[in-house]
Chain A
Amino acid sequence: MATHKHRAMHDLGGVEPTASQAIDRTEHELTQFDKSVDALVGLMAHPSRRIIRVDELRRAIESLQPVQYHGLSYYEKWLQAAHDLLLEKDILGEEEVMLRCAAIREAEEKSS
């Protein structure tokens, strides 16, 4: 059997044992979170902005840690990658994102 030690983690074609797994064909609706992330990335990629291009998003997803690549949900990966690109391009600052996350969590805890 071929080994895949030189394969990038996203290069899944024919890779075992994944290539022997059954396909889970369950249909799922997207959650509001999924839709929101898809919409934000779509807006960033829109020709009127071109802040994040498709190939950049892929590069950012393919640069995630393997635990993230294999463990996060599809749109969690998109969000992490979009976030990383927005920091890389100085559209957002790391500090302000962290502060905003903390403020959102705090407000949620107060209201719960």
Chain B
Amino acid sequence: MAEYHHHDHVHLDHAPISDHGHEPRAEYRVLERAVRELLIEKGVVTAEDWRRQIELMDSRNPSMGARVIARAWVDPAFKQRLLADAKKAADELGIDTANAPRVMALENTPTRHHLVTCTLCSCYPKAILGIPPAWYKSEAYRARAVKDPRGVLKEFGTELPDNVEVRVMDSTADLRYLVVPLRPAGTDGMTEEQLADLVTRDSMIGVTAARNPTSVS
């Protein structure tokens, strides 16, 4: 913690607003390099391990989850397997979830909508959706999602009728959630690939619905 004491401009009452995309403080930039170099020199990891891990991270993105959802929309048997064991189902589509914590898929219905948060930290199904957006990790989202879910949904442009139950799911380190959004109307003739284009990251977190086919040219 010694590195931290140089900094007295960090205030308790000031939430870290949009801390992503910013370069780290100088002492943390140096600390990262020091820790990495020492771990490599001690043989705990290799430079190649580190590079590959970053490549793996870069290769993961919400389009993987979108393929899972589109398959579930067209294949009821797959959907049942997804709801029973999301990691195993993702694995069927070549998504490597071997080292990931458990993931539970939550099916939205015309009368039930799921909204996912992690009030305690930032747990997220990274193996299927990639890195979470900054707002998911923000203190405001974490604090608000469980208290004012309909207000949060509205902020994301999502207004649900009163008869739709909203279930807020609070993730844990050992259990993360993947929302299966409702298949939009007017998509009967669409291919699985076209359907996947309608499935956004935000719809799999539950802050929005899947895109309407008329919004996609």
Residues of chain A at the chain B interface (Cβ within 8 Å): 10-16, 18-31, 33-40, 42-47, 49, 51, 54-55, 58, 61, 65-68, 70-76, 79-80, 82-84, 86, 91-92, 96-98, 100-101, 104-105, 108
Contacts and interface: CB of A to CB of B under 8 A. Distances in A.
Contact of A86 (B23, B35, B141, B143): B35
Contacts, number: 211
A110 to B, nearest CB: 14
Given A15-B143, A70-B14, A97-B34, A33 B28 contact: yes
Contacts of B131: 30, 38
Contact of A42 (B12, B57, B173): B57
B5 to A, nearest CB: 11
Contact of A36 (B2, B16, B54): B54
A33 B32 contact: yes
A25 B135 contact: yes
Interface string B44-65: 1100011001101110000000
Nearest to B119: A13
A73 B139 CA distance: 12
Given A38-B131, A71-B11, A22 B155 contact: yes
